[in-house]
């Protein structure tokens, strides 16, 4: 049988139906499809795909196990490197990482590595997983992890497996970080996936202290000097929203994407009135930005009842930073893309509510520092969009609370913590950092990779400290 150059299609909810519910869009491969997709893998002697994985999953090995119908062995191989496979199989930008380097991608479509990872992880979640708690030595060293997002969870899991007593301090009332507050239910189910992955860590022996704001409840110094922690990992992410600083941004009906998605995902506004979180969504919504978060906000607004949702982005489709899959799904659901346009003012009525968005048309000039062509305003091309809600999704930055209460830990001009790229070591001894708090807003898997590297470095540091 000839090798197929096309991936097996991912079963999905019908766009007309899913645009009105919060159930998962992608339904996952069944066993037959997963095995057929695994059979497309060439099992290269020198697998390039693994080089594209920030946590170095042994990709051909787990795919061969799926091909052989040994799903238990497949997920065991994945989990030896990846603490959150059911998450990564859903939200990783595989097309820019492992799948980009797949040899098959030179002639056709890459092997569906992410889809196969999700299949193996979901198979295990359906079977139920036996987690054997770690028996910690009486004199086991203690590590504090600040932030229960992807970086913190990954770091904590690796350290616990190495025999350290780990406590995660999470500011919110639910663990998961961006997995819980940022990514919508229709892309990443909270109860079925995120909560189970967190529970597995707790079964392993990791303690999670919720509603614990480090920088207020404790400082980093207090954790080390008074609470007895031998090392600290900071993985607090980048949850501080950016705005454009244009007139009208303080009107009622203007949200940051962070607030909008947090109200919906973490505080369950989409289940109002069962959950007492109000959220105002008008008939016509403009989402400013072109990344994955913008797609999430636009698709969420649609599901909350908006009749017309615009994506307003200052560059062309080619430059959209969102995953192709997210753009494709948004278009299928009826999101209206207004590209090469940039807002200059949010318009309001006499009651102080949004009633429109004034934009200017853009054209692309020479490439800027990012390598993308710089958007340039077209003189005299201003126009108005009639909208009653505006969601700003133009990036996020680091919350300064940990950095400003930790003397001796250097930060950049933007407030990101300065940390070694390979080890996560900061300028303060015994304190490590990784993920978006160091790099700025990036992907879940890159944050996990940073947490994994930091766990290895913390292990080395604490071994030396113990032997000194």
Per-residue pLDDT tens over the stretch 288-342: 999 999 999 999 999 999 999 999 999 999 999 999 999 999 999 999 999 999 9
CA distance 145 to 156: 7
CA 240, 293, 30, 57 torsion: positive or negative?
Answer: negative
Backbone angles phi, psi at 80, to 5 degrees: -70, -20
* Rounded percentage of the chain residues whose pLDDT exceeds 70: 100
pLDDT (average), residues 96-125: 95
pLDDT (average), residues 423-451: 95
What the block records as the tokens of 437 is 């708090």
pTM of the model: 0.94
**Contact call for residues 60 and 41 (beta carbons, < 8 A):** yes
pLDDT (average), residues 45-62: 93
What the block records as the tokens of 150 is 């992807």
Q: What is the pLDDT of residues 165-211, one digit of tens each?
A: 999 999 999 999 999 999 999 999 998 899 998 999 999 999 999 99
Q: Tally Cβ neighbours within 10 Å of residue 141.
A: 22
The pLDDT value recorded for residue 262 is: 94
Is residue 276 predicted with pLDDT exceeding 90? no
Q: Annotate 314-350 with b (16+ C-beta within 10 A) or e (fewer).
A: bbbeebbbbbebbbebbeebebbbbbbbbbebbbbee
2 or 69: which leads in pLDDT: 69
pLDDT (average), residues 335-354: 97
Mean pLDDT of the chain: 94
CA distance 62 to 402: 39
> In the 8-state DSSP scheme, what is residue 190?
I
CA distance 370 to 364: 14
pLDDT (average), residues 259-269: 92
Is residue 2 predicted with pLDDT exceeding 70? no
pLDDT band at 1 (very low <50, low <70, confident <90, very high): low
pLDDT band at 422 (very low <50, low <70, confident <90, very high): very high
pLDDT (average), residues 438-444: 92
What the block records as the tokens of 29 is 């491969």
Least confident of 27-41, 258-272, 408-422, 426-440: 258-272
Least confident of 119-133, 153-167, 285-299: 119-133
Tell me how many helices (H) and strands (E) the chain has: 16, 16
What the block records as the tokens of 467 is 């032997």
Q: What is the pLDDT of residues 22-38, one digit of tens each?
A: 999 999 999 999 999 99
> DSSP alpha helices (H): ranges in 336-408?
401-404
């Amino acid at each position: 049988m000839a090798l197929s150059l096309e991936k097996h299609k991912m079963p999905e909810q019908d766009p007309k139906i899913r645009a009105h519910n919060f159930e998962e869009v992608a339904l996952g491969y069944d066993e037959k499809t997963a095995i057929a997709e695994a059979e497309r893998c060439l099992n290269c002697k020198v697998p390039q795909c693994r080089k594209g994985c920030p946590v170095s999953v042994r990709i051909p090995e787990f795919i061969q196990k799926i091909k052989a119908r040994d799903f238990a062995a497949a997920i065991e191989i994945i989990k030896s490197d990846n603490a959150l496979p059911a998450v990564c199989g859903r939200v990783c930008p595989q097309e820019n990482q492992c799948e980009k380097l797949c040899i098959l991608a030179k002639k056709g479509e890459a092997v569906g590595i992410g889809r196969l990872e999700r299949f193996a992880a979901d198979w295990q979640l359906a079977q139920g997983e036996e987690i054997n708690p770690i028996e910690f030595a009486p004199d086991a060293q203690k590590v504090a992890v600040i932030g229960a997002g992807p970086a913190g969870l990954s770091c904590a899991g690796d350290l616990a497996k190495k025999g350290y007593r780990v406590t995660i301090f999470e500011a919110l009332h639910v663990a998961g970080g961006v997995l819980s507050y940022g990514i919508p239910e229709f892309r990443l189910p909270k109860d079925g996936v995120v909560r189970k992955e967190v529970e597995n860590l707790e079964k392993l022996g990791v303690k999670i202290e919720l509603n614990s704001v480090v920088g207020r409840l404790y400082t980093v110094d207090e954790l080390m000097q008074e609470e007895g922690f031998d090392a600290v990992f900071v993985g607090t992410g980048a949850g501080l929203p950016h705005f454009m600083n244009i007139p009208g941004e303080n009107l009622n009906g203007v949200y940051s994407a962070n607030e909008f998605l947090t109200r919906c995902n973490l505080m369950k506004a989409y289940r109002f009135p069962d959950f007492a979180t109000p959220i105002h969504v008008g008939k016509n919504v403009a989402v400013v930005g072109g990344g994955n978060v913008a797609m999430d906000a636009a698709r969420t607004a649609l599901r909350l009842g908006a009749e017309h949702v615009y994506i307003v982005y200052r560059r062309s489709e080619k430059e959209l930073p969102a995953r192709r899959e997210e753009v494709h799904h948004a278009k299928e659901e009826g999101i209206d893309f207004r590209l090469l346009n940039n807002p200059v003012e949010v318009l309001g009525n006499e009651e102080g509510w949004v009633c429109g968005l004034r934009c200017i048309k853009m054209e692309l000039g020479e490439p800027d520092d990012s390598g993308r062509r710089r958007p340039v305003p077209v003189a005299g091309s201003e126009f108005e969009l009639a909208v009653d809600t505006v969601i700003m999704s133009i990036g996020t930055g680091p919350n300064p609370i940990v950095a400003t209460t930790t003397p001796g830990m250097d930060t950049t001009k933007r407030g990101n913590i300065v940390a070694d790229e390979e080890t996560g070591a900061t300028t303060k001894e015994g304190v490590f950092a990784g993920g978006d708090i160091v790099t700025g807003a990036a992907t879940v898997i890159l944050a996990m990779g940073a947490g994994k590297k930091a766990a290895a470095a913390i292990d080395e540091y604490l071994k030396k400290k113990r032997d000194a």
